[in-house]
């Protein structure tokens, strides 16, 4: 009995095993004094960044100079998950140089997709930002009650599912939908929302504006609340009315916030995908609703022209970058 108790006391417990494992791991890791331990903690970020961001960016650029001709039977990477085996076969690529980029000059569908995207951008972004600014100014007024309730209601659309709200707009804009029913009840002619080139684009403009106006209103409202009240008081002393205070005090003070909203809205417009593809699936003409991202998707995953789709992607990046730089230069010209 005594021997049994002695063996029980000398055998390592689970706690001892974990402590020994932790001590051995601590000895294996670099010491904090060497400065190398920081790289150990940063390593997961760099590994994930390299796999999911850096590598796709570089490989897409590489792929834009080739023509994709399918895959071979030779496996270059495989991963056995137990329930499923992931295999990557070797790609058949033919070097074409800048042919994918020069093809853009004569691609009518690319020109149409870019035209549709720019059309939506020029109408939707100023309209959305203007409405958001007016709503923010209204909610910032001291006499408005239940501000929290109004903010929540106006910002609620941004939480709507992309596919769900696009489908709702598609149903509303049908020939016999609710919108045309209201118009005919008021004595107006019904509008061909889904059969006309112009009105099908306006359907996308309305859907995107409805979803993102409240989101931008919250951002602008936060900027308004940071405007010093002393500036308005000084303007009142100088005899400025409401419009003059808005023009000479509110707008200049909101310049950085407005710049942020315009830049992010521009980028978001060039990324439109769900709304156009659902509205197009509901009967709207493809030529009038296709956007540049939708065209890239069709080129890559329907036509399997990965090289040309990669070139389209980098052209889109270049266009968005130039527009963002121009907006930043114009919006920050008085910041000296």
Whether the Cβ atoms of residue 207 and residue 127 lie closer than 8 Å to each other: no
Which residues have CB under 8 Å from 210's CB, separation 6+? 157, 165, 169
Rounded to the nearest 10 degrees, what angle do helices 147-155 and 197-224 cross at? 140
Whether the Cβ atoms of residue 163 and residue 211 lie closer than 8 Å to each other: no
pLDDT of the chain along its 336 residues, tens only?
A: 444 454 445 556 777 777 777 777 777 666 655 567 777 788 889 999 998 999 999 999 999 999 988 877 787 777 777 777 777 788 888 999 999 999 999 999 999 999 999 999 999 999 999 999 999 988 887 777 877 788 888 888 888 888 888 888 888 888 888 999 999 999 999 999 988 899 999 999 999 999 999 999 999 999 998 888 898 889 888 888 888 888 899 899 999 999 999 999 999 999 999 899 998 888 888 888 999 999 999 999 999 999 999 999 999 999 999 999 999 888 775 543
103-331 belongs to which CATH class? mainly alpha
Q: Where are the domains of the chain?
A: 1-63, 70-97, 103-331
Q: Which residue has the tokens 């994930």?
A: 48
Predicted local confidence at residue 312, as pLDDT: 96
Whether the Cβ atoms of residue 261 and residue 132 lie closer than 8 Å to each other: yes
d(CA 39, CA 48): 14
Which residues have CB under 8 Å from 211's CB, separation 6+? 157, 158, 160, 165
pTM: predicted TM-score of the whole model, two decimal places:
0.81
- Supply the DSSP string of 182-236, one letter for each residue: HHHHTTPPPP-TTTSHHHHHHHHHHHHHHHHHHHHHHHHHHHHTTS-HHHHHHHH
């Amino acid at each position: 009995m005594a021997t049994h108790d002695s063996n029980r006391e000398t055998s390592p417990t689970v706690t001892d095993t974990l402590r020994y494992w932790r001590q051995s791991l601590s000895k294996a890791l670099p010491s904090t004094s060497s400065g190398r331990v920081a790289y150990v903690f940063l390593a997961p970020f760099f590994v994930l960044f390299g796999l999911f961001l850096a590598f796709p960016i570089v490989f897409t650029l590489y792929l834009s100079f080739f023509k994709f001709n399918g895959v071979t039977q030779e496996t270059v990477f495989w991963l056995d998950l137990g329930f499923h085996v992931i295999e990557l076969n070797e790609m058949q690529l033919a070097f074409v140089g800048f042919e994918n980029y020069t093809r853009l000059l004569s691609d009518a569908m690319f020109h149409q997709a870019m035209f549709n995207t720019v059309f939506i951008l020029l109408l939707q972004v100023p309209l959305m930002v203007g409405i958001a600014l007016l709503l923010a100014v209204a909610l910032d007024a001291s006499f408005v009650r239940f501000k929290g309730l109004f903010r929540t209601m106006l910002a609620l659309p941004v939480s709507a599912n992309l596919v769900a709200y696009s489908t709702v707009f598609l149903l509303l804009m049908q020939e016999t939908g609710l919108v045309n029913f209201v118009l005919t009840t008021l004595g107006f002619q019904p509008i061909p929302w889904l059969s006309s080139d112009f009105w099908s684009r306006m359907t996308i403009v309305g859907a995107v504006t409805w979803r993102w106006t409240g989101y931008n209103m919250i951002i602008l409202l936060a900027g308004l609340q940071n405007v010093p009240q002393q500036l308005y008081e000084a303007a009142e002393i100088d005899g400025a009315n409401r419009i003059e205070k808005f023009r000479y005090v509110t707008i200049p003070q909101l310049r950085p916030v407005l710049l942020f909203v315009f830049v992010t809205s521009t980028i978001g417009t060039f990324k439109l995908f769900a709304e156009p593809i659902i509205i197009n699936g509901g009967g709207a003409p493809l030529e009038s609703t296709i956007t540049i991202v939708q065209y890239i998707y069709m080129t890559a995953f329907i036509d399997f022209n990965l090289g040309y789709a990669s070139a389209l992607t980098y052209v889109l990046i270049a266009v968005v970058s130039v527009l963002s730089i121009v907006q930043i230069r114009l919006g920050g010209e008085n910041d000296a």
